[in-house]
Chains A and B, each alone.
Chain A
Amino acid sequence: MSEYIMEVNDLKTHFHTKQGIVKAVDGVNLRIKPGEILAVVGESGCGKSVTSQSIMRIVGQKKSEQLSGEVFYHGEDLLQKTEAEMRKIRGKHISMVFQDPMTSLNPAYNVGTQIAEMPQIHENKPKKAAWQRAVEMLKKVGIPSPDKRASQYPHQYSGGMRQRGVIAMSLSCDPDLIIADEPTTALDVTIQAQVLDLLRRLRDETGTAIMLVTHDLGVVAELCDRVAVMYAGKIVEEGTSEDIFDRPKHPYTQGLLHSVPRPGHAERLQPIEGQPPSLHDLPEGCRFADRCPFVMEQCRNEQPDLLTTETPGHTVACWLEKEGVEDDNRRTRPRQQPEETF
């Protein structure tokens, strides 16, 4: 048995459309240890959400959606499982929290019923016991007077409470792993902090691992043990929070960190120039090459694999790492080169 509860190897999700193949996820590798919070970070459209939905096999049901690679969960490849076997895993062993709590609860049923559905399906609990569980779960996520709230409908909940409700639902069968797809993006800033606190507390109490998909670096720094940075369908850098925030190796990661304000630092924010490549028509070489200030000839021709850096467990997919260009050296180089690089 490996030390990971989940190992994703070379996961690819390709959508066949009239305009051609969209490679939304194109060779993603991820590892999650029990009880760990792993962040998957990247800008909009880089394939974070598709990755999480591919792991759950919510994507990949239609003919036009093609999944390949391996998703090992406790040593078993989820991509080889039948739909019926997957159904037993979804919700019970791996559950999900979606981005927008306003739309991820069914408006036609009260919240208690929706939570109780999980133990009813997965544990064959009788209705009453399942309802009792729902009330317990609501209490656990900090909803006041949970027995009254359980019989209320989603429209009677505020946004933050709905997300708590969704989290209660995802926890109700005591899963090993929760995939939270931008759980705070749709919430007010004050509520965001509460929900993040809640996630951390629940992880500490239950030992559930969390895969947190987000574009918010602040969230990552606050909450996560390890971080995987995703760009145009690939993981470009992975390491502990310290690795990523203190010793970022990939130019994209560096760019991301430069483009968010840091308290106590007066320097100007430096946005990453340009746009990510179209997923229809990906470049042959490194996908970040067109936007990279350190681009080399090799970058345009060949895709770099994930390479281990001097810190164990910190990997980066960049030719600079192979070249052995010194970290400090890179930092001192100007962020943006004049025209000659392009």
Chain B
Amino acid sequence: MIAYIIKRLLISIPVLFGISVLVFFMVRLVPGDTVTAMLGNSYTPEQAEALRAKYGLDEPLITQYALWLKNVVQGDFGYSQFTNTPVLEAILARLPITIELATLSVLIAIIIAIPLGTIAAIRRNSKFDYGASLFGMLGISIPNFWLGTLMILFLSLYAGLFPSGGFVGLAESVWGNLQSMILPAIALGTAVAAVAMRMTRSSMLEVTNQDYIKMARAKGVSNSRLIIKHALKNALVPVVTVLGIQTGYLLGGSVVVEQIFGLPGVGQLALQAITNRDYALLQGTILFIGSAFVIINLIVDIVYGFLNPQIRY
């Protein structure tokens, strides 16, 4: 298992390298640069040249990239050209918020999806099943920003149950933190829950038709044990795949949701960096999000090994 994890980590190195190339050059495809964003509307070409020379932006792109990569490998992500603070510091300050948001969203998704999908499969074509299908359809088709806005409107403004935005740190108040996080987590997690629920349902339906389920019944296994122990473990393999992919999308979705709920997370930071054409900051944040994606995939593969012994050996 450890050898397997090491192998997977080695494979992720070229992936991360690819991400770095894409990030670096795509950022520069956007019209305008840091200097034009900093100087605003009225500036002389000389001023711009001087600033470009100061930040090294007058060098050939390849040289800039090589320099950046060299620093990144050494753990130096550079300075934000706008705020003059180290990029790494800015990211690390905001990362916990995004991680918390993503984790909560996935947890909510799992808590909803797996029981719902399992029961829907067992009681196939019942009212419960139709209800679950309806949830699946709505969950997938409702965009997270709309769901978020509606929840702010009804649950925060009308009912006053939750704050309408802003962030309370975990160290300040656990309850306050949860209150500020729960709505954005639901907004983000609903779509994931819907997709995972549908996958759980269809996968369960397939597994419960297998001979080993019949065999387990013939062994005298109780229904609950049959479903949880014999069926679910096999049915979860494709669900984990879907959850992994969806968690990747969820990181992208957090950019919008953090904005709506005023959460100072990495998504919000990325958005700021884009508007300011803050190259170093943008490259840093996207590289982090890319790494997160790689790590999530690694976790998915490890969970696979746990669920399916054929992969482990």
Contact = CB atoms under 8 A, between A and B. Distances in A.
Interface of A: 53, 56, 58, 87-92, 95-96, 98-100, 103-110, 117-118, 121-122, 153, 155-156, 166, 169
Q: What is the interface residue range for chain B against chain A?
A: 20 to 34
B289 to A, nearest CB: 33
B308 interface: yes
B313 A156 contact: yes
B219 A169 contact: yes
Nearest to B232: A108
Shortest 9 CB-CB contacts between residues of A and residues of B: A91-B220, A96-B218, A90-B220, A103-B211, A91-B219, A153-B309, A106-B212, A104-B211, A108-B233
Nearest to A105: B212
A110 B309 contact: yes
> For A92, A95, A107, A153, which residue has the most chain B Cβ atoms within 10 angstroms?
A107
A104 B230 CA distance: 12
A90 B271 CA distance: 62
A96 B215 contact: yes
SS class of chain B's interface: helix, strand, loop or mixed?
helix
Given A104-B214, A104-B215, A106-B215, 9 more contacts: A53-B214, A58-B217, A90-B217, A90-B218, A96-B215, A117-B219, A118-B220, A122-B220, A156-B313
A121 B234 contact: no
Contact of B309 (A91, A107, A118): A107
Nearest to B306: A108
A87 B222 contact: yes
Interface of B: 210-212, 214-222, 230, 233-234, 307-310, 313
SS class of chain A's interface: helix, strand, loop or mixed?
mixed
A98 B220 contact: no
Contacts of B309: 107-108, 110, 153, 155
A284 B313 CA distance: 58
Contacts of A109: 233
Contacts of A96: 215, 218
A107 B220 contact: no
> For B214, B233, B308, which residue has the most chain A Cβ atoms within 10 angstroms?
B214
